[in-house]
Amino acid sequence: MSVGSTMKWMGRSARDKAESMAHEVKDRATERRLERATSETERLRHENDLLRDEVSESRAEHRRILDLIEERFNEMAVEEGPDGKKRSHKGRWFLFLAAVGGGVFYWFRQRGAQTGDDEWTSNLADMPAVTESGTSTTL
- pLDDT value at position 112? 75
Residue 78: beta bridge partners? 88
In whole angstroms, what is the distance from residue 111 CA to residue 99 CA?
Answer: 18
Nearest residue to 12 (alpha-carbon basis) of 2, 1, 4: 4
Do 69 and 59 touch, CB atoms closer than 8 A? no
**pLDDT 10s digits, 93-138:** 788 889 999 999 998 888 877 776 555 555 555 556 656 665 656 5
Between residues 24 and 133, which one has the greater pLDDT? 24
- 39-80 pLDDT, tens digit per residue, is 999 999 999 999 999 999 888 899 998 888 888 877 766 565
pTM of the predicted model as reported, rounded to 2 decimal places: 0.36
CA atoms within 13 A on the CB side of 9: 1
End-to-end CA distance of the chain: 111
